[in-house]
A and B are shown apart, each in its own frame.
Chain A
Amino acid sequence: MIYIAIIIGCIVGAIIGAFAPVIPYTYSSYLSIAIVAALDTVFGGIASVVKGNFDLKIFLSGFFGNSILAIALTYLGEKLNVDIYLAAIVVFVGRMFMNLGTIRRYYIEKWINIIEKKNKNRKQQKTNEA
């Protein structure tokens, strides 16, 4: 059910985005930093699902809050003539890799467990047969 919702959302979003008007290049840097923040939240959400402590409120607030905060920081950085968005990207991408690592470890462990179970089953079958 959730996977279907995600797929439908992705398709509809892609269609809308493909037909959306082109935004000015000046604002596209803000948008890109917001996308990075949102992606970070998405991976964080997946990691929390994997860990089993997923909370919708935290996910949604992180999704929008992080994006808006990233945009605000970029704007502030432009006003201060400091490239704050670089710091935001470093933080978000670093967290993204951490979360990806968590997810990867989980699935690898799961996979290894499955293989080991199969092996055990075979052994047991063999002993049973013997």
Chain B
Amino acid sequence: MNGKITMTISIGCTALILTMVMFTQFKTVGETDITAIETMRETELRAELASWKSKYEEIETKIEEREKTIGEYNSELENNQNSLKILENEVKEAESYLGYTALKGEGIVVTLKDNEIYNIDHTDLLRLVNELKVAGAEAVSINDERIIGASEITEINNRIIVVNTKRIAGPYVVKAIGDKKYFESALTIKGGYIDEITGSGKDIEYNVQDNIVVPAYEG
């Protein structure tokens, strides 16, 4: 009898537990909205997360590519500007080299004068210009006539000195831009140009200056 009671109770409890769990499960399954995120299975959530992640990564790589191309364009622009500057500098250099622009800077001003006995010869000017060029002159002018590669210093009838097909007369002011110390030492060296000119009885003066303007070549 005792065994029968325990059996009854335990089987009843078993039935109770089984139906309780089953109904709980029915309710859970019935009420669960598959699309709701809170009740989604972990694996589904993971899959969703993975897909979003991959999308995010895709977009990120796209952004990186775009930024790269923007950077390329920027660098190209910079390069263009740089090359523009370089070209401008080159043009300026070439112009200054050709003498198409006036130059300003430190240098030397040499003045040759005719005196009662001796006249200044065109060779004196020629040699002076050569000396100055050897001493590193960037620009040379005689009486504000710029000396360029095509310039000539010559004489007509042993009387009239012509520079750049223009007649000039004394005093002859030769301006040169460059290192003034070099100029000074190149001209005043013993047995140098000044010695020669003074030795031949001609008048020469020079003074170094910090601000000399050599005009541009004008035809």
Contact = CB atoms under 8 A, between A and B. Distances in A.
A35 B25 CA distance: 9
A25 B39 contact: yes
Interface residues of A, number: 32
A6 B41 contact: no
Contacts of B7: 2, 56
B18 A18 contact: no
A44 B4 CA distance: 20
B27 A18 contact: yes
Given A9-B12, A20-B27, A56-B6, A34 B21 contact: yes
Interface string B1-29: 00010111111111111111111111111
Interface residues of B, dominant DSSP: helix
Contact of B32 (A18, A22, A31, A59): A22
A2 B41 contact: no
A5 B12 contact: yes
A13 interface: yes
Nearest to B15: A9
B42 interface: yes
Interface string B114-138: 0000000000000000000000000
A29 B156 CA distance: 119
Given A22-B31, A23-B28, A28-B29, A35 B22 contact: yes
6 contacts: A5-B11, A13-B16, A13-B19, A17-B22, A25-B32, A26-B42
Interface of B: 4, 6-29, 31-32, 39-42
